[in-house]
Structure 1
Amino acid sequence: MHVSVDEDRCCGSGQCVLVAPAVFDQRDDDGVVVLLDAEPPVQVHAAVRDAAAVCPAAAITVSEEA
């Protein structure tokens, strides 16, 4: 799995951090998403997919290929 984020699209809702805190964080100054792990371990793949699905700005892209 490969994860990417579009910081320009991010609205800072923080849903990704709530769903997958091992993979996503937020900048302190504006709340924009910070990608902590672009190729997360298989144990968190389901959470990453969920985070992408709940992102209100569709700022998270998940590719199933590493």
Structure 2
Amino acid sequence: MTLAQQYPLQSSGNFIEYAVLFFILALVAAALGASGVAGVSMTIAKWFVIIFIVLAIVSFVL
């Protein structure tokens, strides 16, 4: 039995890594002048940080 079968509700926890990735993408896009891509990347990064914080709080409480 794999870990995914034992604990099906747990995610891999890569939200903060994805947030950093999209933040770096936004900085590069802004430096190159692609303001639309930079804005979308920052929005995605912001949501990943929010999801990370919510999941961290839930895991500390439980």
Q: Which has the higher strand share?
A: 1
For normalisation by structure 1, the TM-score amounts to: 0.30
Q: Which has the higher helix share?
A: 2
Which of the two has higher C-alpha Rg?
2
Which of 1 and 2 has higher RCO (CA within 8 Å, sep 6+)?
1
